[in-house]
């Protein structure tokens, strides 16, 4: 795999989390195991087919493009004057630092730690459930660009291409897809 120079685009894992039930927040762990084609072992969203309840209701046989949820901790920094948010509380499996995840194109490859490889499928679409966690948070994690397009800041989603364990302090290295790049869309 031809990874981009670590000094140019790299970051690190600051927390890993999972929940074996469909809870909004996930519990921090010392490590999580990613399994190729399935996601985070022991997590409620683990599987080849979609596990997100609203999507299961639409079609339970659609592929699971949301096996791993990743959020950059810089979002927590941005919101800290209004909300106290800790890793895992927004339902993410991996919390990162040092990479602007939202600027990466669709199909970007993340090598996390020594072995795990994740392919980015798109943006998490924050739902009203986020306001049950902290009132007003939904409005804080969406924005509009200068052209009026919606900006979703609640993280990205991916699928596991190669199994491996992921722990806090693991490095994240990035391989961009071939051009032309496709902007992340909600999945």
pLDDT in tens, 56-78: 788 889 999 999 999 999 999 99
* Other CB atoms within 10 Å distance of the CB of residue 113: 20
pLDDT higher than threshold 90 for residue 6: no
pLDDT at 74 (0 to 100) = 97
Q: How far apart are CA 50 and CA 12, in angstroms?
A: 28
Question: Domain 10-175's class?
Answer: mainly beta
Q: Per-residue confidence at 9, pLDDT binned at 50, 70, 90?
A: low
Q: How far apart are CA 85 and CA 154, in angstroms?
A: 12
Q: Is the pTM of this model over 0.95?
A: no
Total residues found in the chain within this entry: 187
pLDDT higher than threshold 60 for residue 35: yes
pLDDT higher than threshold 50 for residue 2: no
pLDDT in tens, 108-127: 999 999 999 999 999 999 88
Q: Residue 122's closest CA among 170, 159, 163, 79?
A: 159
Question: Average pLDDT in the 22-27 region?
Answer: 94
List of residues 6+ apart from 7 with CB closer than 8 A: none
Q: How far apart are CA 170 and CA 100, in angstroms?
A: 17
Q: Where are the domains of the chain?
A: 10-175
pLDDT in tens, 70-101: 999 999 999 999 999 999 999 999 999 999 99
pLDDT at 1 (0 to 100) = 36
Q: How far apart are CA 141 and CA 160, in angstroms?
A: 25
pLDDT higher than threshold 70 for residue 142: yes
pLDDT at 187 (0 to 100) = 92
Q: Are strands 68-72 and 94-97 parallel, antiparallel or unpaired?
A: parallel
Percent of the chain surpassing pLDDT 70: 95
Contact 151, 135 (CB under 8 A): no
């Amino acid at each position: 795999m031809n990874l981009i120079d670590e000094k140019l685009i790299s970051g690190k894992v600051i927390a890993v989390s999972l929940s074996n039930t469909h809870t909004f927040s996930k519990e921090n762990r010392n490590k999580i195991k990613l399994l190729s084609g399935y996601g985070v072992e022991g997590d409620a969203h683990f599987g080849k087919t979609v596990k997100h309840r609203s999507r299961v209701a639409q079609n339970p046989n659609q592929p699971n493009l949301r096996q791993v949820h990743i959020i950059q901790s810089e979002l927590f920094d941005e919101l800290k004057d209004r909300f106290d948010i800790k890793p895992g509380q927004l339902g993410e499996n991996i919390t990162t630092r040092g990479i602007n995840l939202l600027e990466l194109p669709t199909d970007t490859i993340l090598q996390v730690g020594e072995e795990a490889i994740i392919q980015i499928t798109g943006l998490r679409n924050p739902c009203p459930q986020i306001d049950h966690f902290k009132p007003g948070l939904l409005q804080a994690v969406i924005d509009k660009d200068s052209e009026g397009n919606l900006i979703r800041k609640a993280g990205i989603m991916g699928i596991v291409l190669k199994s491996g364990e992921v722990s806090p302090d693991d490095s994240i290295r990035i391989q961009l897809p071939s051009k032309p790049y496709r902007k992340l869309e909600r999945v």
